[in-house]
Amino acid sequence: MSDPAPSGDEEGRPGIGRVEAFSDGVVAIIVTIMVLELHPPETVGWDKLWALWPVMLAYVLSYAYVAIYWVNHHRLFTHATHVTNGLIWANMVLLFTLSLVPFATAYLGEHHFHRDATLLYLATLLLPSLAYVRLQSIIRRTGKQGPAAEAYHRQMTRKGLFATLLYLAGIPLSFLSPWLGIACAALVALFWCMPKSSFDRLFD
Amino acid sequence: MSDPAPSGDEEGRPGIGRVEAFSDGVVAIIVTIMVLELHPPETVGWDKLWALWPVMLAYVLSYAYVAIYWVNHHRLFTHATHVTNGLIWANMVLLFTLSLVPFATAYLGEHHFHRDATLLYLATLLLPSLAYVRLQSIIRRTGKQGPAAEAYHRQMTRKGLFATLLYLAGIPLSFLSPWLGIACAALVALFWCMPKSSFDRLFD
Amino acid sequence: MSDPAPSGDEEGRPGIGRVEAFSDGVVAIIVTIMVLELHPPETVGWDKLWALWPVMLAYVLSYAYVAIYWVNHHRLFTHATHVTNGLIWANMVLLFTLSLVPFATAYLGEHHFHRDATLLYLATLLLPSLAYVRLQSIIRRTGKQGPAAEAYHRQMTRKGLFATLLYLAGIPLSFLSPWLGIACAALVALFWCMPKSSFDRLFD
Amino acid sequence: MSDPAPSGDEEGRPGIGRVEAFSDGVVAIIVTIMVLELHPPETVGWDKLWALWPVMLAYVLSYAYVAIYWVNHHRLFTHATHVTNGLIWANMVLLFTLSLVPFATAYLGEHHFHRDATLLYLATLLLPSLAYVRLQSIIRRTGKQGPAAEAYHRQMTRKGLFATLLYLAGIPLSFLSPWLGIACAALVALFWCMPKSSFDRLFD
């Protein structure tokens, strides 16, 4: 960094606040536009509503996924101390990958968990996890230091690795049945939502 | 909570601020995308515009409902002191249930307050009230303590219970006429919007 | 106000901050969803693009209008000192009336400034100005006091009155030609955007 | 500025915060609604998905562009010290020009990088750069002063000029092949995303 001018990179937490606010806005929109795929049926009738269950199920799963990213992002950014060019762009890439989730969700719901749609969905959800690894490694390097921060990053890295492996297992399983792939994705979502417990000690 | 690392749970009000900001974003989008259902008629004419009244009425009612949740959420969060995993997820569930309101509103408006659409609408509006009870009980337990906080939570719980009972009465009444169900929902909305007054003493 | 519990009404500027943030979110969405009406033509060709000019013109005018409300809201809220029930609901009503602007804009653009569409548009833009008067009177009564605040409110009330009269003139003029109505609305927008100058002294 | 009343213009950084928050909201929505153009194909099949590549490519390019504006805006506003009428309206014009990007992007993607669509796209992306020049010159004049601020503004002006020249070269090149025009736009995007390095010294 040979930037001679004070270009926001050195301003500390205030700069972080605006990156958080922008991320909150993007994630809030991503999470909410997915519900637009729930088109109300053109004729009344409980059977017509019931036929929406794949779209609804896809929405629930994706909502949980994006919510998990927000929660983890929220915690991760408490460890950031200043804004760097690398941090901003790693965050932009993460938001970009999350913005593809509504597309994959609509595809999954419209094609009723068809095998190809499930594979596309699993592949799309893999992208933010890669982007998140990059973002975390930047904050680990440039953010708060010390044993507590180190313990947090080590634990999150292990949890992330475990989640990704469980998740990757869903791809071959989808060839047996798309529902096995979806089950893996749902398990990963549950894994992240679970209240913190002695279970977390497994990842220390 | 045996979490060994400072993962944002202990950071106090700043963490709260970001949960509020994210909730504001989601609620702002929910409230605004409902207006997208007001499709401009393809031909000019006051009769064509007038035919939009059910969609408009459904929008007004849902706008009032979501606005009430925002106002109550705004007040409730002044009692929160720190972010816990339970708080974040109870809030995420509340936002999820609110995100279904635009769907139920579109269905209600498009099918002109048909009985089944009214029942779906009433059932959908019941979900956030259940999620709100859970969120409030978490903040009551983990947030600010003391007689004033206790009085606030006791009053809100009573008001919430009264509103829910009034609301539930709308479901059987919808079988007589959907308009009776809608009237109950409208009464509940009015009940929450009313300026605070000696009426509130009924709920102390 | 006989509310016995500290329910956010007495918390001062922090409560104001969240009302501002929510309003910013809603206005940002309103302003942006209007651009969704600019549907790209299905075939290439400059004539097809050129045919979009009424939609584009309606968008520019409405963008300016909503932006003016945001700017005035931004300034008005620097005079608010605490959140009251009346303030929150007057603000919610203002945001509701603004949320109808995209509908009236789409109607105006799609029907190429037809007389009826122009009348609906002018009538819709009148609603937020009424809601704003109410909001301002609440902040004038409950917010910052003193000669400077008084001068601000007096000047804004006069400017608002002048703008509304100019605006109202557009309604009968639309019967001569819709373009005269639109010209009045555009004049009002220009009037608010103008840099502050000695012209402002006319309204002291 | 002969404004006799304290109308928010003199309040310093807090007023800036709200302009930033509003801008964040608008940019977050712009960046996210572009993904709505990625309509999931109605039948399953990898070839149908593959046919979406022009829409996807247009989205990636526009996302990068809007993200760059956000990053530069974020840095520029660290130099602002107080809100003026000119600052607010220059910012509103910038946000307006950015709001046209989703339209031009949809047009580009739907017409598969047709020459005319590419020219419209390049012309649309030029508008925010003009608006940004105006905004920067206002902040340069009214914001933080001193050698560091001066160096920042001088460097950014040079980088902006270089980017615009590179960008303008794309317009005649599009007549040879639209891909040459797109390549220029992509080069400009890369130029802004690049990590800061000794390369920046060229623009001191």
Alpha carbons D194 and B83: distance in angstroms, whole number: 37
What Rg do the C-alpha atoms of chain A give, in angstroms?
19
Query: Across the interface, do C1 and B67 touch by the CB < 8 Å criterion?
Result: no
Q: Do D80 and A14 touch, CB atoms closer than 8 A? A: no
Residue B93 has pLDDT above 90, yes or no: yes
Q: What is the mean pLDDT of residues B78-95?
A: 92
> What does the pLDDT look like over D67-104, one tens digit per residue?
999 999 999 999 999 888 889 999 999 999 999 999 99
Chain B touching partners, 3 or more CB pairs below 8 A? A, C
Residue A40 DSSP class: P
Q: Provide the pLDDT confidence category of residue A7 given band limits of 50, 70 and 90.
A: very low
Alpha carbons A11 and A7: distance in angstroms, whole number: 8
Instruction: Choose among D132, D195, B18, B143: nearest CA to A13.
Output: B18
Helix axes B13-33, C85-99, angle to 10 degrees: 40
Instruction: Choose among A30, A32, A31: nearest CA to A99.
Output: A30
Which positions in chain B touch A157 (Cβ < 8 Å)?
A: none
Q: Provide the pLDDT confidence category of residue D199 given band limits of 50, 70 and 90.
A: low
* D195 CA: distance to closest CA in chain C (Å): 31
Q: Do D9 and D3 touch, CB atoms closer than 8 A? A: yes
Q: Which residue has 């005269």 as its token pair? A: C180
Instruction: Say yes or no: B204 contacts chain C, CB-CB below 8 A.
Output: yes
Chain D touching partners, 3 or more CB pairs below 8 A? A, C
Instruction: Choose among D87, D119, D94, D91: nearest CA to D104.
Output: D119
Locate the chain D residue with the closest alpha carbon to C28. Answer: D26
Token representation of residue C44: 């290439």
Which helix (H) or strand (E) segment holds residue D60: the answer is helix D53-77
Q: Provide the pLDDT confidence category of residue A14 given band limits of 50, 70 and 90.
A: low
> What does the pLDDT look like over A158-180, one tens digit per residue?
888 888 888 889 999 999 999 99
Q: CB within 8 A of A184, min separation 6: which ones? A: A122, A166, A167, A169, A170, A173
Query: Across the interface, do C78 and D8 touch by the CB < 8 Å criterion?
Result: yes
Give the type of residue at D47.
Answer: D
Cα C55–chain centre separation = 19
Locate the chain B residue with the closest alpha carbon to C3. Answer: B196
Q: What's the full length of chain C, in residues?
A: 204
Which positions in chain C touch D95 (Cβ < 8 Å)?
A: 31
Nearest to D40 among A3, A18, A103 (CB): A103
Residue A112 DSSP class: T
Instruction: Say yes or no: C22 contacts chain D, CB-CB below 8 A.
Output: no
Tell me the average pLDDT of chain D. 86
Instruction: Say yes or no: B29 contacts chain C, CB-CB below 8 A.
Output: yes
DSSP letters, D130-182, are: HHHHHHHHHHHHHS--SHHHHHHHHHHHHHHHHHHHHHHHHHHHHHH-HHHHH
Q: Which residue has 């400059």 as its token pair? A: C46
Q: What is the mean pLDDT of residues A70-82?
A: 92
Per DSSP, the three-state class of A39 is coil
Instruction: Say yes or no: A36 contacts chain B, CB-CB below 8 A.
Output: yes
Range with the poorest average pLDDT among A178-182, D1-5, D182-186:
D1-5
Q: CB within 8 A of A147, min separation 6: which ones? A: none
Work out the widest C-alpha separation in chain A, in whole angstroms: 67
Nearest to C28 among D25, D106, D111 (CB): D25
Residue C143 DSSP class: S
Query: Across the interface, do B28 and C5 touch by the CB < 8 Å criterion?
Result: no
Alpha carbons A146 and A164: distance in angstroms, whole number: 27
Residue B102's φ and ψ, nearest 5 degrees, are -60, -40
What Rg do the C-alpha atoms of chain C give, in angstroms?
19
Query: Across the interface, do C11 and B204 touch by the CB < 8 Å criterion?
Result: no
Q: Provide the pLDDT confidence category of residue B191 given band limits of 50, 70 and 90.
A: confident
* D176 CA: distance to closest CA in chain A (Å): 32
Which positions in chain A touch B7 (Cβ < 8 Å)?
A: 75, 78, 152
What was the pLDDT predicted at D9? 32
Token representation of residue B102: 């635009």
Which helix (H) or strand (E) segment holds residue C64: the answer is helix C53-77
> What does the pLDDT look like over D5-22, one tens digit per residue?
333 333 346 688 899 999
Locate the chain B residue with the closest alpha carbon to C11. Answer: B78
Cα A65–chain centre separation = 5
Which positions in chain C touch B201 (Cβ < 8 Å)?
A: 2
Give the type of residue at A146.
Answer: G
Chain B residues 102-121 with CB within 8 Å of chain A: 102-103, 106-107, 110-111, 114, 116-117, 120
Residue D204 has pLDDT above 70, yes or no: no
C-alpha distances (whole Å) from A19 to each of B44, B201, C125 are: 45, 44, 34
> What does the pLDDT look like over A34-57, one tens digit per residue?
988 888 888 888 888 998 999 999
Q: Do A113 and A45 touch, CB atoms closer than 8 A? A: no
Where does C78-114 have alpha helices with state H?
Answer: 85-99, 101-110
Which positions in chain A touch B29 (Cβ < 8 Å)?
A: 28-29, 32-33
Residue A34 DSSP class: G
Query: Which regions of chain C are under pLDDT 50?
Result: 1-12
Alpha carbons A20 and D24: distance in angstroms, whole number: 10
Instruction: Say yes or no: C13 contacts chain D, CB-CB below 8 A.
Output: no
Give the type of residue at C192.
Answer: W
Alpha carbons D71 and D65: distance in angstroms, whole number: 10
Mutate to test the interface with B, among C7, C98, C115, C174 (most CBs of B within 10 A): C7
Q: CB within 8 A of B147, min separation 6: which ones? A: none
Residue A128's φ and ψ, nearest 5 degrees, are -60, -30
Alpha carbons A58 and A62: distance in angstroms, whole number: 6
Range with the poorest average pLDDT among B119-123, B133-137, B190-194, C66-70:
B190-194
Residue A78 DSSP class: T
Alpha carbons D49 and C114: distance in angstroms, whole number: 41
What's the number of CA atoms in the CB half-sphere (13 Å) around residue B105?
30
Chain A touching partners, 3 or more CB pairs below 8 A? B, D
What was the pLDDT predicted at A197? 59
Token representation of residue A125: 């959800």
Which positions in chain B touch C102 (Cβ < 8 Å)?
A: 35-36
The pTM of this model reads 0.89
Helix axes A147-176, A115-142, angle to 10 degrees: 170
Locate the chain A residue with the closest alpha carbon to D72. Answer: A7
Chain C touching partners, 3 or more CB pairs below 8 A? B, D
Alpha carbons B9 and A71: distance in angstroms, whole number: 11
Query: Across the interface, do C193 and D89 touch by the CB < 8 Å criterion?
Result: yes
C-alpha distances (whole Å) from C145 to each of A66, B140, C139, C149 are: 46, 36, 10, 6
Residue C65 DSSP class: H
| 3 state SS for D1-69 | CCCCCCCCCCCCHHHHHHHHHHHHHHHHHHHHHHHHHCCCCCCCCHHHHHCCHHHHHHHHHHHHHHHHH
> What does the pLDDT look like over A112-123, one tens digit per residue?
889 999 999 999
Report ipTM (2 d.p.): 0.88
Instruction: Say yes or no: A14 contacts chain B, CB-CB below 8 A.
Output: no
Token representation of residue A7: 């270009």
Instruction: Say yes or no: B92 contacts chain C, CB-CB below 8 A.
Output: no
